[in-house]
Protein backbone atom coordinates (compact mmCIF):
# COMPACT_ATOMS: atom_id res chain seq x y z
CA UNK A 1 0.00 0.00 0.00
CA UNK A 2 1.22 3.50 -0.84
CA UNK A 3 0.61 5.02 2.60
CA UNK A 4 2.10 2.26 4.79
CA UNK A 5 5.36 4.13 5.38
CA UNK A 6 5.08 6.89 7.98
CA UNK A 7 7.95 8.69 6.22
CA UNK A 8 5.79 9.26 3.15
CA UNK A 9 6.35 12.75 1.75
CA UNK A 10 3.29 13.59 -0.32
CA UNK A 11 4.73 16.73 -1.95
CA UNK A 12 8.01 15.07 -2.93
CA UNK A 13 6.33 11.94 -4.33
CA UNK A 14 3.66 13.94 -6.16
CA UNK A 15 6.33 16.08 -7.83
CA UNK A 16 8.30 12.98 -8.79
CA UNK A 17 5.16 11.51 -10.36
CA UNK A 18 4.73 14.78 -12.28
CA UNK A 19 8.15 14.31 -13.81
CA UNK A 20 10.41 16.32 -11.52
CA UNK A 21 13.64 14.57 -10.71
CA UNK A 22 15.29 15.90 -7.55
CA UNK A 23 18.28 13.59 -7.93
CA UNK A 24 19.84 15.60 -10.75
CA UNK A 25 23.21 17.24 -10.02
CA UNK A 26 23.12 20.94 -9.24
CA UNK A 27 25.17 21.63 -12.39
CA UNK A 28 22.16 20.47 -14.44
CA UNK A 29 20.25 23.61 -13.43
CA UNK A 30 23.06 26.14 -13.93
CA UNK A 31 22.25 29.07 -16.21
CA UNK A 32 24.69 31.41 -17.97
CA UNK A 33 26.32 33.88 -15.61
CA UNK A 34 24.95 37.40 -15.43
CA UNK A 35 25.60 40.36 -13.19
CA UNK A 36 23.37 40.81 -10.16
CA UNK A 37 20.10 39.00 -9.59
CA UNK A 38 18.73 39.38 -13.11
CA UNK A 39 19.50 37.82 -16.45
CA UNK A 40 19.52 39.92 -19.62
CA UNK A 41 16.16 40.81 -21.18
CA UNK A 42 17.04 38.52 -24.12
CA UNK A 43 17.64 35.57 -21.80
CA UNK A 44 14.57 36.46 -19.71
CA UNK A 45 12.21 36.43 -22.70
CA UNK A 46 13.66 33.18 -24.04
CA UNK A 47 13.18 31.31 -20.77
CA UNK A 48 10.19 33.24 -19.41
CA UNK A 49 11.87 34.46 -16.23
CA UNK A 50 14.16 37.44 -15.48
CA UNK A 51 15.45 36.07 -12.19
CA UNK A 52 18.87 34.42 -12.25
CA UNK A 53 18.23 31.91 -9.45
CA UNK A 54 14.57 31.09 -10.07
CA UNK A 55 14.62 29.06 -13.25
CA UNK A 56 14.22 25.29 -13.24
CA UNK A 57 13.72 23.63 -16.61
CA UNK A 58 10.55 21.56 -16.87
CA UNK A 59 11.50 17.88 -16.97
CA UNK A 60 15.03 18.83 -17.91
CA UNK A 61 13.93 20.47 -21.17
CA UNK A 62 15.47 23.72 -22.28
CA UNK A 63 14.16 26.46 -24.52
CA UNK A 64 15.25 26.96 -28.09
CA UNK A 65 16.80 30.34 -28.81
CA UNK A 66 14.84 32.46 -31.28
CA UNK A 67 17.02 34.14 -33.91
CA UNK A 68 15.54 37.07 -35.89
CA UNK A 69 16.12 36.86 -39.65
CA UNK A 70 16.22 40.56 -40.64
CA UNK A 71 16.53 44.06 -39.19
CA UNK A 72 12.78 44.60 -38.82
CA UNK A 73 12.35 41.31 -36.99
CA UNK A 74 15.42 42.02 -34.82
CA UNK A 75 14.00 45.38 -33.74
CA UNK A 76 10.57 43.87 -33.02
CA UNK A 77 12.20 41.11 -30.99
CA UNK A 78 14.19 43.70 -28.95
CA UNK A 79 10.89 45.45 -28.18
CA UNK A 80 9.40 42.14 -27.05
CA UNK A 81 12.44 41.54 -24.80
CA UNK A 82 12.13 44.98 -23.19
CA UNK A 83 8.37 44.65 -22.70
CA UNK A 84 8.83 41.26 -21.07
CA UNK A 85 11.53 42.62 -18.76
CA UNK A 86 9.37 45.63 -17.80
CA UNK A 87 6.36 43.39 -17.06
CA UNK A 88 8.38 40.86 -15.04
CA UNK A 89 10.05 43.58 -12.96
CA UNK A 90 6.70 45.32 -12.52
CA UNK A 91 5.26 42.16 -10.95
CA UNK A 92 8.23 41.97 -8.58
CA UNK A 93 7.99 45.65 -7.64
CA UNK A 94 4.29 45.24 -6.80
CA UNK A 95 5.44 43.05 -3.90
CA UNK A 96 8.81 44.74 -3.19
CA UNK A 97 8.36 48.48 -3.81
CA UNK A 98 11.36 49.33 -1.60
CA UNK A 99 13.89 47.55 -3.87
CA UNK A 100 15.64 50.55 -5.44
CA UNK A 101 18.10 48.44 -7.47
CA UNK A 102 15.30 46.67 -9.33
CA UNK A 103 13.35 49.92 -9.65
CA UNK A 104 16.34 51.51 -11.43
CA UNK A 105 16.47 48.54 -13.83
CA UNK A 106 12.71 48.89 -14.36
CA UNK A 107 13.13 52.56 -15.32
CA UNK A 108 16.07 51.75 -17.61
CA UNK A 109 14.14 49.00 -19.43
CA UNK A 110 11.04 51.20 -19.69
CA UNK A 111 13.04 54.01 -21.34
CA UNK A 112 14.72 51.50 -23.69
CA UNK A 113 11.33 50.09 -24.64
CA UNK A 114 9.93 53.55 -25.44
CA UNK A 115 13.01 54.40 -27.52
CA UNK A 116 12.84 51.11 -29.44
CA UNK A 117 9.12 51.55 -30.17
CA UNK A 118 9.74 55.07 -31.49
CA UNK A 119 12.56 53.76 -33.70
CA UNK A 120 10.34 50.97 -35.01
CA UNK A 121 7.47 53.36 -35.74
CA UNK A 122 9.79 55.69 -37.70
CA UNK A 123 11.23 52.86 -39.79
CA UNK A 124 8.29 50.49 -40.26
CA UNK A 125 5.12 52.22 -39.10
CA UNK A 126 3.16 52.21 -35.83
CA UNK A 127 2.94 49.06 -33.72
CA UNK A 128 -0.21 50.15 -31.91
CA UNK A 129 -3.01 52.59 -32.58
CA UNK A 130 -1.67 54.98 -29.93
CA UNK A 131 1.63 55.27 -31.85
CA UNK A 132 -0.19 57.28 -34.53
CA UNK A 133 -1.22 60.13 -32.22
CA UNK A 134 1.94 62.22 -32.74
CA UNK A 135 1.86 61.98 -36.55
CA UNK A 136 0.39 64.65 -38.80
CA UNK A 137 -1.98 62.13 -40.40
CA UNK A 138 -3.79 58.96 -39.42
CA UNK A 139 -1.21 56.30 -40.37
CA UNK A 140 -2.72 53.17 -38.85
CA UNK A 141 -4.69 52.29 -41.99
CA UNK A 142 -1.61 52.73 -44.21
CA UNK A 143 0.13 49.71 -42.71
CA UNK A 144 -0.22 46.28 -44.32
CA UNK A 145 -2.57 43.96 -42.49
CA UNK A 146 -1.18 40.77 -40.92
CA UNK A 147 -2.85 38.51 -43.50
CA UNK A 148 -1.36 40.41 -46.43
CA UNK A 149 1.73 38.72 -47.86
CA UNK A 150 3.64 41.96 -48.31
CA UNK A 151 3.82 42.99 -44.67
CA UNK A 152 2.14 42.98 -41.35
CA UNK A 153 3.50 41.10 -38.41
CA UNK A 154 4.11 37.40 -38.23
CA UNK A 155 3.59 37.67 -34.45
CA UNK A 156 -0.11 38.60 -34.65
**Average pLDDT per run of 10 along the chain, which is 156 residues long?**
46 47 47 66 92 84 85 94 96 94 95 93 81 63 63 49
Q: What's this model's pTM, rounded to 2 decimal places? A: 0.65
Domains of the chain, by residue range, sit at 71-135
**Adjacent-strand bridge partners of 51:** 38
- Tell me how far the alpha carbon of residue 70 is from its chain's centroid: 20
What is the rounded distance in angstroms from the CA atom of residue 91 to the CA atom of residue 84?
A: 11
Query: Residue 133's pLDDT is what?
Result: 58
132 φ/ψ angles, rounded to the nearest 5 degrees: -90, -5
- Dihedral class, residue 22 (left if φ above 0, else alpha if ψ from -120 to 50, else beta): alpha
Amino acid sequence: MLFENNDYNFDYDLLNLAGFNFNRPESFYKMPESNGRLVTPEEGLQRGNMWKDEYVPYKGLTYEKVIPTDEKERLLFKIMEMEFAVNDLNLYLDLHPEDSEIYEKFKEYTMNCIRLKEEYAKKYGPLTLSDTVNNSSYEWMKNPWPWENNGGSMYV
